[in-house]
A = this chain, B = another copy of it.
Amino acid sequence: MAKTKPASPRKIPEQDRSRATVDVIVDAAARILVKDGYDAFTTNRVAEKAGVSIGSLYQYFPNKDALLGELMRRHTTDLEKGIEEMAARAANAPLAEVIRAAIEHNVQSHLIDPVLHRVLSDEVPRLGKLDWQAAFVERMTALVRAAFEARRAEIVVPDLDLAVYMVTRTVETVVHNAVTQRPQDLQSGALAEELTRMIVSFLTGKPLVAKRPLRTAAA
Q: Taking beta carbons and an 8 Å cutoff, which residues of A are in contact with B?
A: 1, 3, 38-39, 122-123, 125-126, 152, 156-163, 165-166, 169-170, 173-174, 177-178, 181-182, 185, 190-191, 194-195, 197-198, 201-202, 205-207, 214-219
Contact = CB atoms under 8 A, between A and B. Distances in A.
16 contacts: A38-B125, A123-B126, A158-B215, A159-B194, A162-B219, A166-B195, A170-B198, A173-B174, A173-B177, A194-B202, A197-B202, A197-B205, A198-B201, A201-B205, A201-B207, A206-B207
What is the interface of chain A mostly: helix, strand, loop, or mixed? helix
Contact of A218 (B126, B152, B181, B205): B152
Given A125-B38, A165-B181, A218-B158, A198 B190 contact: no
Contacts of A152: 218
A198 B194 contact: no
B160 A219 contact: yes
A1 B158 contact: no
Contacts of A206: 207
A219 B149 CA distance: 12
Contacts of A162: 182, 185, 190-191, 194, 219
Nearest to A152: B218
